[in-house]
Structure 1
């Protein structure tokens, strides 16, 4: 499980920095660049 998480972290970094190729990487880049953070209902700070 730990190896899977590390692999996912590496793949995520490759996607962010443009090193990952393929349809999944392109879709992730599209989502990250076009979906506002607040739509994920993420709480950034307490209060």
Structure 2
């Protein structure tokens, strides 16, 4: 995936979720990597490069 495609997908997901405040995002770091999520850990999420 190209970088900008990922940015557009993240913005679209954020807008579809009602444009929540930044406090609605979380971060999980474990041995599988880093992941940002929206709402809760089971919600929409994005892997971050390690």
Identify the TM-score tier after normalising by the shorter chain. 0.3 to 0.5
Higher strand share: 2
**Structure-2-length-normalised TM-score:** 0.36
Q: Please say which structure displays the higher CA radius of gyration.
A: 1
More helix by share: 1
